[in-house]
Amino acid sequence: MAGVSVTEEFDYEDNPDRFRVNQEVVNRYGLVGDVHDEVAARVAKEALWPLLDMGCGEGRLGQAVDEAGPMVATDLARTLLLQARPPRVCSDMTRLPVPEGSLGSAAALWCLYHVGSPIEAIREAHRVLRPGGLFATCAPSIDNDPELAHCFPPPKPSPFDSEFGGELVKEVFGNVEADHWDTPAVTLPDAEAVALFLKGRGKSADEASELTKQVEMPVTLTKRGALFWAYKR
Ligand SMILES: C[S@@+](CC[C@H](N)C(=O)[O-])C[C@H]1O[C@@H](n2cnc3c(N)ncnc32)[C@H](O)[C@@H]1O
């Protein structure tokens, strides 16, 4: 996608099924909830409306917010965005069509590692928030899912891993609060589940079926990552 800020791993527009497979793995085999409910609850408790969901995917944050307050969903991948609840806008999160200081909160959940220059997206979030507004973002650790690390090449740092993402948020907002996790979070009971997980991580059906033979099942995956919060001063 020329002219927009994405990494080479961005395939959500051409391959929305990979996103959906990852969701299905978490929905079917997850042992703990995701961050969306927690973010929606904090925004509602602090009445920080309207809320902007940057990189909303199919709108899971919107489902968590439900009717609690007004929000807008944005994403670059039109196919996913069309599943999110309106109002919704197709845009690059580093160039939001949103007036300065107009929002109570902004969330960029599970997406800054796809952005070539995540600090530009964080600066955009800061620009569109009013003073006192809340920004929330999260990312996995580079050492996520260690139990299946042998199925992949050694991990390379992404533009926004949980190890240093908080520093980028602090650089823009001048403050950051970090909730880190390191916990067993998904149990894959059998070969079908492991193959589904591997397909969600970009393996072909043949590769997934071959790699599944190297995995002792059931396998419980340790999820590592962090949710970051920051207020605009
Ligand atoms: C892993 S999905 C997360 C979706 C959603 N936030 C959630 O938590 O379910 C990452 C999303 O970020 C979007 N995305 C990636 N780069 C983007 C950019 N530069 N501008 C807007 N959206 C982007 C993708 O299209 C995709 O929907």
Cβ of 40 less than 6 Å from ligand 1 = no
Q: Name the residue of 114, 144, 160 to mutate for ligand 1: max ligand atoms within 8 A of Cβ.
A: 114
Centroid of ligand 1 to alpha carbon of 16 (angstroms): 11
pLDDT at 10: 63
Tokens 């955009």 found at:
124
Centroid of ligand 1 to alpha carbon of 217 (angstroms): 31
Task: Assess contact for 55 and 90: CB atoms under 8 A.
Answer: no
Q: For the chain, what are the domain ranges?
A: 32-184+224-231
| pLDDT over 80 (residue 52) | yes
Which atom of ligand 1 is found nearest the CA of 57? 27
Task: Assess contact for 109 and 137: CB atoms under 8 A.
Answer: yes
What is the band of 15 on the pLDDT scale with cuts at 50, 70, 90? confident
**CA 30 from chain center: how many Å?**
16
Tokens 């939001």 found at:
96
Q: Which residues 6+ apart lie within 8 Å of 109 measured at CB?
A: 35, 36, 39, 53, 55, 60, 61, 136, 137, 138
What is the band of 6 on the pLDDT scale with cuts at 50, 70, 90? low
Q: Give the whole-angstrom CA distance, residue 158 versus residue 138.
A: 13
Q: Under DSSP, is residue 35 helix (H, G, I), strand (E, B) or coil?
A: coil
- Residue 34, phi-psi category: left (phi > 0), alpha (psi -120 to 50), beta (remainder): beta
Give me the mean pLDDT over the 62-75 stretch. 98
Q: What is the CATH architecture assignment of 32-184+224-231? A: 3-Layer(aba) Sandwich (3.40)
pLDDT at 13: 83
Average pLDDT, the chain: 95
**Which strands form 129-140's sheet, in the order they lie side by side?**
88-90, 71-75, 51-54, 103-109, 129-140, 219-231, 177-188
Centroid of ligand 1 to alpha carbon of 216 (angstroms): 32
Give me the mean pLDDT over the 110-138 stretch. 97
pLDDT at 152: 96
Task: Render pLDDT for 174-199 as a digit per residue (tens, 0 to 9).
Answer: 999 999 999 999 999 999 999 999 99
